[in-house]
């Protein structure tokens, strides 16, 4: 079973700061997802990665398959980025996702 660890668990930052959230996993995967969950519970898929780097607006996600590690970066953070960010992995033959516990991000104006 894959163990997914995220850090930090909680992060409070000022508007405009560069944010990094880390995710590590224990077993080889076929894909890694970064998800955003707002207080109401709804989940938005931000990225799906199997290698390299992806960028969408102010969000950047990277993955290092050899080191079993991924990072999510937010540039020029804004209060509307406040949410829980969740790393989830899809392993080999297992289709369902295994989730990290999430990082609760608060961006203060």
Partner 1 sequence: GAVVSQHPSWVICKSGTSVKIECRSLDFQATTMFWYRQFPKQSLMLMATSNEGSKATYEQGVEKDKFLINHASLTLSTLTVTSAHPEDSSFYICSARDAVQGALIAYNEQFFGPGTRLTVL
Binding site for partner 1 (CB under 8 A): 30-31, 33, 35, 41-45, 48, 86, 88, 90, 95-102
Q: How far is the CB of 105 from partner 1 (least distance, A)?
A: 16
| Distances 26 to 65, 74, 83, 90 between C-alpha atoms, Å | 11, 25, 25, 12
Q: What residues contact 91, with CB distance under 8 A and at least 6 apart?
A: 2, 27, 28, 29, 30, 98
Which lies closer to partner 1 via its Cβ, residue 19 or residue 97?
Answer: 97
Which lies closer to partner 1 via its Cβ, residue 77 or residue 105?
Answer: 105
Which lies closer to partner 1 via its Cβ, residue 17 or residue 65?
Answer: 65
């Amino acid at each position: 079973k894959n163990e997914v660890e995220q850090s930090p668990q909680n992060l409070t930052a000022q508007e405009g700061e560069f944010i990094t959230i880390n995710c590590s996993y224990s077993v080889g995967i076929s894909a890694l997802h970064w998800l955003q969950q707002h207080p109401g519970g709804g989940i938005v898929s931000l990225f799906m990665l199997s290698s390299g780097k992806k960028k969408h607006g102010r969000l950047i996600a990277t993955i290092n398959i050899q080191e079993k590690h991924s990072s999510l970066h937010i540039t020029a953070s804004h209060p509307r980025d406040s949410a829980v960010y969740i790393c989830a992995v899809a392993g080999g033959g297992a289709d369902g996702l295994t989730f990290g516990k999430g990082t609760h991000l608060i961006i203060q104006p």
